[in-house]
Structure formats: C-alpha cells, structure tokens
Structure 1
C-alpha cells in the first residue's frame, strides 16, 4: 500500500519516535542496581553468551530433541536452518533475554551494518509485563513507544505499519505477560499463532514455551556465559584492557568454586565482576545463598555511606527486618499465575513509606508504568507499578517467608502446591541455605516429587554447617544412578559433581554415574573427566559403574584409552558401559575401535575384571576381552556365559548379529 505524502511524513515521525524511546532504554543499563549514577549503553556492556538452535523438537516429553550451537545471536536471524516468521528465544532468569532485545534495538537505531536488524524498516519492541490487559498491539505501541509523539495517531500508525516492506516485532518476556496462557483472543496470542501479522517477523523471549505455538515456529535458547564471554565482559565493561585487573577478577572468581559455575548466569556474573573490582576484601562464598546475602549487604552499605547520622543504625535494623517484603514476595510467587508487579500505592502502604523509599533508593525495587485496567478506547491511563529489580531478588525475599512457613507447617505439599521447584529453583535453594531445619524439611519434600532427587542435590549443597549433616541424604541419592545430562545447566552439573566428590571423599559407594550427551574427554593430567560444558569430574574412588551415552559418536583410540585410564583409577569401579537401548530396542551410542591394543588396557582393569561393554545395534551387545583386546558377544546386561544374571536368549541374538 502506497502512503500519501502526509503519511510518509508521519512515518518518519514514527521511526524517530521509536528510536527516541529505544535510546532511553538501551542507554540506561545498570549492572549494579544500587549505583544509580553508573549507567551504560547496551553496546558497551553486551557480550554474547552461548546460543543454541533447535533443529528438531523433542520426540517425547522430557527428551532433549536435536540442538546445535550457533556462533552468534545474529545467526538466530541469518542461519538458513532457522528461517521462519516466528522465533522463540528461551532462557532462564538472568540469562540476558531482555539485554539481547536491547542490543537488537541498538543495532536498528544505529544502522549497524552486520546486524540482522539493518534492513528492517520498523522495529517494534514491547515489554509484555507492562501491557496489563491491553489487547490491541497498536494501542500498546502508542501507549509505550509513542507516548511522546502526538503527531501520529493510533489509526495512522496502523496504516503506516501495514505499508512497510519489512517489520520486525519483538515481544519481550512472555512469562511475565499478565495475559499469558489465557484464552483471551488478544493481539499477542494472535501474533504467536500467526493469525495476525503472518508476514511480519516476530521474536518472542520467554522462560517457557507458550501453549499456542505453531509447529513452524523456530526455537533458540540462551545458554549463558562461558569463560570466553566472561573474559570479554570484564574487559569491555569493567576494567577495559587492564590485563592485571582482568587476572585479579578471574582469580577471585576461581577462588569461589561455587560461583565459578553460578557465573554462567550473566546477571550473577555481571554483579560479581563489578563487585570483585570495587571491593578488595571480597570474601569467599560456599553457596549462592552466601553470595546473595553478601550482595544485599553491599546494597545497604552503599546507602549507609551517604549518611553520617543515626539513620545508618536504622538502616541496619531495616536490613535485618523485612518481614512484610518477604510476605509480599512469597504471595506473588505462590499463585497459579505468579504476580511479579504490584500497584505502588498498595505496596508502599503495606511495607511502610520509609522502608519503601529505602528499597527504591537501594535498587531492590524498581518502579515503572503499566496500562491501567480503567483505560477505555483512546483514553489510555497508566498505573505506577513496582517490581523487584529481578525475579531472583523476589525469590530471595520470598525464601525468608518460606523458611517461617516450612518450620511451622505440618502438610508441606498442600502449602506449597503452587510453587514449582524447577521454575523457582533459587527460592528453594535460598530457603535451604538460610535455615538448616527448614532446609531439611524442604529437601525431604523435594525427594518425593518426580525428578526431585536431582533438584535436592542443589538444595543439599546450599546447606550451611558440617558436611556430616547431609551424609544420610548423600548416601540415599548415590544408592541409585546419578544422571548428568547435556540439558542440565552448568550449575546443576557442577552441583551434581560436588555431591559425587563429597561421596567419594567420605567412602560412600556411588552405584552409577550416567553421562548423557555430555561428550566427555579426559584432561591432560588424566585425573579429570571434562564434560562438554567445560566442567570436570574428578576421579571418584567409590564409583562402581560409569555409563556413557552419546548418540553415534565415534571414539578415537586416544579418547578410548583415556577413558579406560580414568575408569581404572576409580578403584571401586566394576563396570564401564557405553550406549543405551532406546524404546524400540535399538542399541545406540559410541562407535568404538574394532581392535583395542592390549597395551592401552590398564592392568588394574584386568586385575579387577571390570566389565567393559557397548550397545551396538538391535540385540547387539559386545564386551571387551581385557586380556586380548577383542570384542565378543554378550547378553543385554553385558554378561558372558556362566556369569551371574546371564541371559541366554539375548546372548544368542547378539552372537548371531556379530557374525
């Protein structure tokens, strides 16, 4: 549709108005919320973390599907495998979804030549949490992006957008959208279902997938900061190219073993990096609870430095007593549909004006406008809302109330029915770290949930005090297979490896460690198994079985020898298994060398007669003869004739397959 000269002019007003709004957003990045005079442009602090693209969706619930790593966030829009009009960008809290959208807005506003936004005529970026009950996209654009531009009406806006050859819509934070997963036929859901703007490119950021996705929607996932990204951020946003300062911050990070992996989460790493640079006496942390407690203390310390009277003592009292804030945070999370923002006047009344003003000054709380439910037609009204700086802060304060509730509750399942541990992992971890009595009850509660054992690992490691306090839990968890999967976060992987190391050091038998798609290799020392995530698994003297599965990966002779060497040093090991039979009976997994040099087989494996075997195909199982280096048929459990549990039928099937 060709525009009239008048609308052509208004199109320029529209573009200039959008750019003015976006600049106000991307020029106000605040790495440390309590230092309000230190603002950055997003381009000065944005660092690319890991990005994966889904090539094939999960065949069944709970499985991973097929994912591949991308070189850059730009590939989300340029990789031919990701060609689509609808894109979902997933990521856990703190993984930089909103920061990525601001970088895309910066690229568009500044005509960055190699950006996928370079040839986009109009970019529309909306924060879904602000939309309230606004059902019309045009109304949302006018209310939030063009509130300072009276020369373009909502009606003209619609005509201009439909005349453009290239429009890209970014909807940020579906998981915080007040109308998420509802049956309302609003524009947001119409867009997701491609019932509206089917020819426009749309990107949606979210923690979880909407239930109304079309099958042609492509998915990407932000996987956080690796060591390279952390180095880049330190240089770019903290110390410039001061090599000595970079090394000092990294040293402080590696001294805090639990944070070395927590800092895969960009939000946490950014705060840690700035704090490590500003504080010469930064303490060591054994848990994320300790780190958050220290961080909140720094928020208050910064404000105390501004006061030289008795207000400093009052601030300390307020720092320790925040019961009403805890209760509000918990009430918001303990709902079927979580509440993450509140009307300012009501919130301020509940916590008290003095405390409220302090929370705002410190940076724990943030104010912003949302469209009011009282709005009608073109008469858009706004309500001043308040939210926590980040959902992690909401979980921190809610955890304090959870501790009180758990200690006094008789039926936890009923009281916590709306709290999903896998959605609110930090809430549970903080609570376990804050109070050992409540932590023990929560851990027992988690163990009763499907898949809860794995999450309980995180909470066990948040417990303060002597390791002996958690030995019973460690023994119970290690009595069955401990899984480490590629789909697990680096944090969960590290917590799991810490659990295993605690068990090994205390001579607790580890029945089995199952590495699923972790692409393990052995480091040069031969003392650590390095996972695909970069995390390491040290030699576990009490490990009885190591089971490795990586679909159709071919092991080199060197890799094979290294894994055999690692297994031999796990002095309690009885079994080393590769591959896995799937639901249809197909054995899939490593493709191992046909002939194994006897010299590469450690003598300790031979002396202990460790069972080394592999799934090769349908009813095709082979076991390594440690004396000759030759493979020979075995049954589906790796047993040979005469051994306990031998299955003659599957052995004969395997024997026939090997001929």
Structure 2
C-alpha cells in the first residue's frame, strides 16, 4: 500500500521515534542493581545461553515433546523447521527473555547485517506488564513508544502499520500481562490468535505456556548459561581478555559448588561474576541462603560508602526492619495468580517512605509506569507501579514472613495453599535457612510430597549450612541405584541432580545413575548431560555406573561419541550401559576416549541381546556370563544378556 507524501514523512518520524525509545532501553542494562552509574549497551553484555526449539509438542500432560538445541537465537527466525508467523519464547525468571528482546531491538536499530531483524520495516517491542487496561495496540504504541513524538497520532500509527509488508511485533512478558489468560477481546489476544496482523511476525515471551497456544504456536525455550556462556560473559562484560581474572572468577564459582544450579540463571550469574570481580574478600558459601544474605549485605555496604553522614545509621536500622516488605512479598506469591507488581502509593504507604526510598536507591525495588484504568480514548493516564528487581528477591523477602508463619502454625496446609515448591524452590530453601524451627516443620511437610524427600535434603543443607549434616542422607541415596525418569516431577529431577553433584564434589561414591527415557545429550562444552526436561547433570567424578535407557531412539555417531567423551571424564566410572537405543554398528576407534581404554570401562549395548563395545576395535561383541569379551582373561565362551524386561524390573525397584 502506497502512502501519500505526508504519511510517508510521518512514517520516518515513527521509525525514528521507535529507535529513540529502544536506544534508551538497550543502552541502560544494569548488571548490578545497586550501581546505577554503571550502565551497559545490551550488545556489550549480551551472551547467548542455551536455546531449544520444540519440533513436536507434548502428547500427554507431564511429557516434554521433542526439543532440539539451536546454535544461536538467530536460528529461531531462520531455521526452516521453525518457520511460523507466531513464536513463543519461554524461559524462567532471569533467563534472559527481556534481554534477548533488547538485543533484537539493537539489531534492528543498528541494521545488523546478519540479524533476523535486518529486513524488518517496523519493529514493535512492548512490555506487556505496563499495558494495564490498554486494549488497543495503537494506543499502546503511542503511549509507551512514541510518547515523545507529537507529530504522529494514534490513527496515523494505525494507517502506517497497515501499509507495511514487514512488521515484527514482540510482546514481552505475557505472564505479567494484566489481561493474561482472560477472554477479553483486546488486541494482544487477537494478535496472538492471528485474528489481527495474521501476516506479521509476532514473538511472545513468557515464563509459562498459555493453554490456548499449547499446540498451534512454534515454541523456543531459553535454558540458561552453560560453562561456555559463563566464560564468554566474564570476558565480554567483566574483565576482558584478562585470563588470570577470568580464572579467578571461575574459581570462586567452582569453590561455591552449592551455587552451581543458581548460577545457571543468567541474571544471578551476572551479579555473581561482577561481585566476585569487585570483592577482594569474596567468601565461600555453604548454602544459597548464605549467598543471598551476603549479596544483600553488599548492596547495603555499597550504599553506605556513598553516605558518610548519619544516613548510614538509618540504613542499618531499615536493613533490620522490613517486616511489612516481607508480608507484601509473601502475599504476592501466595496467590493462584501471583502478583509481582504493586501500585506505588499503596506499597509505599505500607512499608514507609524512608524504607521505600532506600530500596529504590539500592535497586532491590524498581519503579515502572503502567497505563491507568482511568484512561479513556486519547487521554492516557499512568499509574506508578513498583516491583522487585527479580522474582528471586521477592522469594527472599517472602521467605522471612513464611518462616514466621510456619514457626507459629499448627497446620501448614492453609499457609502453603498456593505455594508450589517446583515454582518457588528458593522460597522454601530460604525459609529453612533463615529459621531452624520453621525449617524443621517445612522439611517434614516436604517429605510428604511426591519427590519431596530429595528436596528436603537440600532444605536441611540450607538449614544448617554444613554439608556434613546431610552426608548420611546423601550416602544412603547414592548407595543404591539413583533413577531419574522423564515422568518425574521437576522438583524431584532438580533435587536429585543437585544432590548427585554435591555427592561428587564431596567424593561420595555414587553406585549407579539410571536415566530412563530422559534422552540426554551433551552440551557444547562437553561438561554437562542435558536431560529431556532441560536440567543438566555435570560431570560426576565419583560415579561408578551410568545407565541410559530410551526405547527405539536412534543415536548418531556424533551423539554417541559425545556421551562417551562425557563418560570418560567421570573418573570413577566402571560401566556405561545403553538400553533400548539403536546404536551405530561400529564406532570409529578415534572417537573412543583413551581414558575409557586405560581404565577398562565396560560399555554395553543392551537391547534384545546384550553386547559389549570392544574399545580397541570399535565393534559390538557378545560376551560371556561374567561380561568378558573373547580374548579377555577369564572368557569362558558363554552368552550373557540383559533383556529390556529385566531392565524395566530393575528400574522399578
């Protein structure tokens, strides 16, 4: 559609106005919330974490479908298998969904040649949590993206957008959208369901998957930082190419092994990396509760250094007195639909002016404008809202109130009614770490949940801060076969992998780990097994047997070589067993790690007939009842096999 000269000029005003707004957003990345004078351009700090795409949706509730890792976020838009006009980008809080949208905005504004945004005429990036009661896309664009551009009206925006061939709309944060999952006939839902702008590309970021989109829309998932991404971020945004400084920060992380899972969250790792570089006396942490307490202390210490007068004493008092803040955070999380932002005036009145100002100054609380329900037509009014810098901070403060409630309660069912440990793992861990009495009650409660036993062990660690206090439980767990099944709850899988890593780092022998239908693959670093659920299992140096079972799945030579390489780094491994897989008939000898050969690790292919890999020739061979190959000492010529039926029986024990 051709525009008249006047509207053509308005289109240039619109594009320039959008770029001006986006530049203000992507130039203001703040890795540490309390250092407001250290802002970065997104392109200087953006590091690609893991990205997976869903090639086949889950068929039944609780299953994960078929997912495949992509090399780059750019492939979300260029991979032909993911071709679609509607895409959902999923990710847990802090996994970089909003940062990715800002990188896409940077690419568009700066005509980055290899970016999928390069040929887009107009990019519309809206933060859905700000929209309030706004039902019109054009009004949202005018209110939030072109508020400083008086030369373009709402009606002209509509006319210009309809004239374009290549428009990309990014709707950031559906899980925080005030109208989420409603039946409102607003433009956001019309766009998502392709009732509006069906020919435009639309990307929606969200923490969870809206039920109405579970089948129809292409989906990608951000899976966090692996070792390679962490190394890249340290070099790119913290120390440059100073190898010594890079290794020092990584050493702090490895010495704080309890934080390994937490630092898969990019936002938390970013804070960890900057703090580890800034603090000369960085301490070793025994629990995530201890780490978070230290991190909050750093926030306060930085602010106190700026105030050399009596305000420093007031800061200390407010640091100790934030009971109402605890209560507000808990009330927000303990709802069927969690509340993660509040109207500023009411929030400030509850916590008090001094404490409110202090938390805004530190950066733990963040202010943001949202369109008011009082807005009508072109008369747009805004409501000042406040939220926590990150949901984990909300869990930290809510945990203080949870501990108080639990300690004084006789029945926990009402208190914990809406608190799901899978979604709020750190809320429970923090509460156990903050108060031993409350922790004991919560641990007893968790033991009664499916998969709760292993999570309870982690909470005991939070409660005491001493690995020795959970050693008996960990040793008991690892003395038997530890099974991780694809149908296990997220809480059980996450807790089990964390406990296995604690055992390995404390040199506790792990008898056997059996991964049933988990379809593990090795990440790019070669240091982690990624399970179908998206969770990772790092190298377990004390692991003795590893079983991997998945019926009728075919492994390529490259996938098999990667698993062999991972297994070779588990230095105590004696046996590796594949069950139910279709494996290559032969394996190139060069892809068999020498350490497997030198340690005489037995590698089994168990399907209908049990065969063992000859590490010298790369051939699968039948073996005797003792598992010996022809030519090996003790071979007696018998035939040994482990049937799949027997494997199922073993796994069910």
TM-score of the two chains, using structure 2 as the length reference: 0.84
Q: Could you tell me which residue of structure 1 aligns to residue 607 of structure 2? A: 615
Aligned twin of 1:535: 538
Seen in structure 2, the aligned counterparts of structure 1 residues 261 and 502 have a Cα distance that, compared at 3 Å, is: closer
Is contact 2:368–2:384 with CA below 8 Å preserved after alignment? Answer: yes
Moved more, 173-182 or 343-352: 173-182
Residue number in structure 1 paired with 2:484:
483
Q: Which runs of 5+ in 1 are unaligned?
A: 580-586, 646-659
1:336 alignment partner in structure 2: 336
Instruction: Describe the shift of the 1:142–1:443 C-alpha distance in structure 2 as closer, same or farther (beyond 3 A).
Output: same
In 2, the alpha carbon distance for the partners of 1:59 and 1:349 equals 49
Tell me how far 1:194 sits from its aligned partner. Answer: 1.3
Q: Cα deviations across residues 364-384 of structure 1 (Å, max 9, x unaligned)? A: 111110011111122111011
Shift of 1:339: 0.8
- CA shift digits 1:269-295 (9 cap, x unpaired): 111111111111111112222211111
SS in 1 for 2:212: coil
- Aligned positions of 1:197-346 closer than 5 A: 197-213=197-213, 215-346=215-346
What do the CA deviations read for 1:464-488 (whole angstroms, capped 9, x no partner)?
2444544675477566744177997
In the superposition, relative to structure 1, how do residues 218 and 559 fare at CA in structure 2: closer, same or farther (>3 Å)?
Answer: closer
Instruction: Name which of 500, 518, 522 aligns with 1:497.
Output: 500
Q: Which SS does the other structure have where 1:87 is aligned?
A: strand
* SS state at 2:272 partner: helix
Are 1:500 and 1:540, in contact at CA under 8 Å, matched by a contact in 2? no
C-alpha displacement of 1:498:
3.1
Instruction: Report Cα offsets for 1:486-516 as digits up to 9, x if no partner.
Output: 99799757513135448973x8x96764363
Q: CA deviation at 1:131?
A: 0.9
Distance 2:36 2:484 in 1: 43
Q: Which moved more, 1:486-495 or 1:224-233?
A: 486-495
Whether the 8 Å CA contact 1:96–1:267 is kept in 2: the answer is yes
User: 1:163 and 1:71, CA in 2 relative to 1: closer, same or farther beyond 3 A?
Assistant: same
In the other structure, the counterpart of 2:32 is 32
Cα 1:7–1:631 shift into 2, 3 Å: farther
Instruction: State whether residues 90 and 205 of structure 2, in contact with CA within 8 Å, keep that contact through their aligned partners in structure 1.
Output: yes
* 1:161 and 2:161 are equivalent in the alignment: yes
Structure 2 residue aligned with 1:518 = 520
More divergent stretch after superposition (295-304 vs 215-224): 215-224
Tell me the distance in 2 between the aligned counterparts of 1:604 and 1:277: 39
User: How far apart, CA to CA, are the structure 2 residues paired with 1:263 and 1:466?
Assistant: 20
Q: Deviations over 1:53-78 (max 9, x none)?
A: 11111232222222221111111111
| CA–CA separation in structure 2 for the residues paired with 1:110 and 1:32 | 26
Do 1:614 and 1:623's aligned partners in 2 also have CA atoms closer than 8 Å?
A: no
Aligned to 2:53: 53
Question: CA contact under 8 A between 2:541 and 2:570: conserved in structure 1?
Answer: no
Distance 1:10 1:387 in 2: 36
- Preserved CA contact (<8 Å) 2:606 2:643: no
**Following the alignment from structure 1 to structure 2, what is the Cα–Cα distance between the partners of residues 360 and 183?**
35
Q: 1:486 to 1:605 in 2, by over 3 A?
A: farther
Distance 1:560 1:272 in 2: 30
Equivalent residues of 2:63, 2:486 under 8 A apart: no
Q: Aligned to 2:264, what secondary structure does the other structure show?
A: coil
- 1:389-538 equivalences under 5 Å are 389-453=389-453, 455-456=455-456, 458-467=458-467, 469-470=469-470, 474=474, 481-483=482-484, 494-501=497-504, 505=508, 513-514=514-515, 516-519=518-521, 531-532=529-530, 533=536, 535-538=538-541
Deviation of 1:183 (Å)? 2.0
Q: After TM superposition, give the deviation of residue 206 of structure 1 in Å.
A: 0.9
User: How many angstroms apart in 1 are the aligned matches of 2:109 and 2:505?
Assistant: 52
Backbone CA RMSD of aligned residues: 3.7
1:99 lines up with 2:91 in the alignment: no
Q: Quick one: distance in 2 between partners of 1:603 and 1:148?
A: 69
Is the 2:342–2:386 Cα contact (8 Å) retained in structure 1? yes
What is the count of residue pairs matched by the alignment?
Answer: 613
Q: Write the distance in 1 (CA, Å) between the matches of 2:190 and 2:584.
A: 47
Structure 2 vs 1, CA of residues 433 and 19 (structure 1 numbering), >3 Å: closer, same or farther? same
Relative to 1, partners in 2 of residues 1:588 and 1:411: Cα closer, same or farther, differing over 3 Å?
A: farther
Could you state the TM-score of these two structures normalised by the residue count of structure 1?
A: 0.83
State the distance in 2 between where 1:247 and 1:577 align: 35
